[in-house]
A and B are shown apart, each in its own frame.
Chain A
Amino acid sequence: MSRWLEYAAQFEEGTQNPYFEVRSAYQALAGVKRLLTQDKGQMIFLLGQPGSGKSYLLNHLLKDEELENRPVLFETPVSSPKAFFIRLIKHMRHEPLSDDLESLKEQAEVLFADKKTLIMLDEAQLINEETLEFVRILSDSRLFWIVCAMHEEEGQAILNKSHFRSRPHKVIELGQLSAKESDMYINTQLIFTHDKSILDFHQAHAKKIYQLSKGNFRYLKKLIYTEFSLLDEAQELGLKRFEEPSKALLIMAAIEIGLINV
């Protein structure tokens, strides 16, 4: 593996990083945790732009050992209330005893009765309205805490619907990265490369990188990942013009991932 691909690996999607040093994410996580300590369960909406770290935050909660609740993560949207219960029952390594919705519900309640359960629904904007309404009613049962992670705009549209407006719920929004956080993230990831020139270049162009990635965490990672993959490609082809990182390469990477439309 070339050194460029090694560097690129630092920015690969799903790579461990000091994400929770990001202020807005830390605040969102603290907010969710605070709500989970309350006796009465309620629906929590986690809203943010694509790439703002919603999925990562849910994964963090899933692995959080300090959490009192039993976390269950639905990474893909459920299609119906029945499918929802079947997934829950299977999560507890049980098989559904019936096909009837009420029976499924009762079976799930029995299985999860011993501990407060946190059900996390990623990409919840894709769940149909009927299922979402059913989930909302389930959150009133006080047995389940439900977190729905949604894209900001679609999530707001769902929340504006009358049946959600009138019901108690909490909304936690995930903000964008600040320029300083973006810079800090790049430095933290590149410091392990032990390549001073690479670190210096990205520090010198931190502002441009932030501007190109628009403060979006996913875009930021994707941009630098693409930049290193282009450098690797140039190295393979023996193109001296692109043998070192440059501003031109950064812009080319931004064009490649669609951050710049030419």
Chain B
Amino acid sequence: MSNRLEDLHSQYKRYRLKQWLKVFGAAVILFLLFGLGGYLLIEGLNEPPQKTSLSASKMEVKKTASKKQEKPKIELKKREDSPSYTLSVSEDALESSIKNIEEKKVLETVEKTVIQKPKPVVAKPTEVKEYKNYFDEVEQEKSRDVWIEKYNQKKSYALAISIAKQYYSDKEFKQAGIWAKRANQLDRNKEEAWLFYAKSVYALGNVTKAIRILNIYLQYKDSSKAELLLSEWSR
């Protein structure tokens, strides 16, 4: 082969190799891109089931939540049966109040129980109890004044009901009634305020008014405690 043709042919081979490498490179890149795309697609397709599992778990949570909502029903019933409530009332009174509750179908719907759920404002009163354990009377007055001052700065149901409880425990029923009423005005849904208001009025000797208060509350909400008190006072 002549030098010219030989040289050109070798250049041609080089050119072909370059072209092939370009095509191969492009194919590899395309393959990688498709692979990556496919992987992402598969990942994307796999995600929805996870979402469904999440949603399923959410459903479960919802279910458990609803179960939790239902729980108070049972607990309340248990409480009704529990002897702690019967400590202050007689067995007859308890039976009659249970009858009354059944008649009114206190825990008919879930919604009603849902409303009832937040009822127990346990935290605050326990503080008062603890306070009671550690401070003497003077300090109680001082702390009560501090609470009242706090209340004057910023009105809140928790403070009002706590003050009412303190007065009630100190047998200052008039003040207890006033503060319970204040608490009640701040949150009409809270059972405790209604009960302390009624109890304070009852303690002051105004039974009719106390019964009326509880009846008003019972028209507004179902309350086993109010029922118990009513049945006791009506005897």
Chain A partners chain B:
yes
Q: Which residues of A contact B (CB under 8 A)?
A: 230, 233-234, 237, 239, 242, 248, 251-252, 255-256, 260, 262
**Residues of the B chain whose Cβ atoms lie less than 8 Å from the Cβ of A256:** 4, 8
Interchain Cβ contacts under 8 Å between A and B, 17 examples: A230-B4, A230-B5, A230-B8, A233-B5, A239-B1, A239-B5, A242-B5, A248-B9, A251-B15, A252-B5, A252-B11, A255-B8, A255-B11, A255-B15, A256-B4, A256-B8, A262-B14
Residue of A234, A239, A251 near B12 (CB, 8 A) is A251
Distance A239 CA – B4 CA, assembled complex (angstroms): 13
Residue of B2, B8, B18 near A252 (CB, 8 A) is B8
Given contacts A252-B12, A255-B12, contact A262 B5 (CB under 8 A): no
Distance A262 CA – B9 CA, assembled complex (angstroms): 12
Other than the given A233-B5, A237-B1, A248-B12, 7 more pairs (CB < 8 A) read A230-B4, A233-B4, A239-B1, A251-B12, A252-B5, A252-B9, A255-B15
CB–CB B11/A262 < 8 A: yes
**Residues of the A chain whose Cβ atoms lie less than 8 Å from the Cβ of B4:** 230, 233, 256
CB–CB A233/B2 < 8 A: yes
Distance A195 CA – B5 CA, assembled complex (angstroms): 24
The 7 closest A-B pairs by CB, nearest first: A252-B8, A262-B11, A262-B15, A252-B12, A255-B11, A262-B14, A251-B12
Interface-central residue, B1, B5, B14, by most chain A CB under 10 Å: B5
**Residues of the A chain whose Cβ atoms lie less than 8 Å from the Cβ of B15:** 251, 255, 260, 262
**Residues of the B chain whose Cβ atoms lie less than 8 Å from the Cβ of A248:** 9, 12
**Residues of the B chain whose Cβ atoms lie less than 8 Å from the Cβ of A255:** 8, 11-12, 15
Distance A150 CA – B4 CA, assembled complex (angstroms): 34
Specify the main secondary structure of chain B where it touches its partner: helix
**Residues of the B chain whose Cβ atoms lie less than 8 Å from the Cβ of A242:** 5
**Residues of the A chain whose Cβ atoms lie less than 8 Å from the Cβ of B11:** 252, 255, 262
CB–CB B8/A234 < 8 A: no
**Residues of the A chain whose Cβ atoms lie less than 8 Å from the Cβ of B8:** 230, 252, 255-256
Residue of A nearest to B15 (CB): A262
B18 to chain A minimum Cβ distance, whole angstroms, is 7
**Residues of the B chain whose Cβ atoms lie less than 8 Å from the Cβ of A262:** 11-12, 14-15, 18
Residue of A nearest to B12 (CB): A252
- Scan residues 1-56 of chain B and give those whose CB is less than 8 A from a CB of chain A: 1-2, 4-5, 8-9, 11-12, 14-15, 18
Interface-central residue, B1, B8, B18, by most chain A CB under 10 Å: B8
Distance A230 CA – B8 CA, assembled complex (angstroms): 10
**Residues of the B chain whose Cβ atoms lie less than 8 Å from the Cβ of A260:** 15
Residue of B nearest to A248 (CB): B12
B17 to chain A minimum Cβ distance, whole angstroms, is 10
Distance A85 CA – B5 CA, assembled complex (angstroms): 50
Distance A202 CA – B188 CA, assembled complex (angstroms): 99
Distance A83 CA – B8 CA, assembled complex (angstroms): 45
Distance A258 CA – B1 CA, assembled complex (angstroms): 21
Distance A230 CA – B2 CA, assembled complex (angstroms): 10
Distance A113 CA – B83 CA, assembled complex (angstroms): 137
Residue of B nearest to A226 (CB): B8
Distance A256 CA – B5 CA, assembled complex (angstroms): 10
**Residues of the B chain whose Cβ atoms lie less than 8 Å from the Cβ of A237:** 1-2, 5
A5 to chain B minimum Cβ distance, whole angstroms, is 16
Distance A260 CA – B15 CA, assembled complex (angstroms): 9
B60 to chain A minimum Cβ distance, whole angstroms, is 66
Distance A213 CA – B15 CA, assembled complex (angstroms): 17
Interface-central residue, B4, B9, B12, B14, by most chain A CB under 10 Å: B12
Distance A220 CA – B9 CA, assembled complex (angstroms): 21
Residue of B nearest to A229 (CB): B4
**Residues of the A chain whose Cβ atoms lie less than 8 Å from the Cβ of B1:** 237, 239
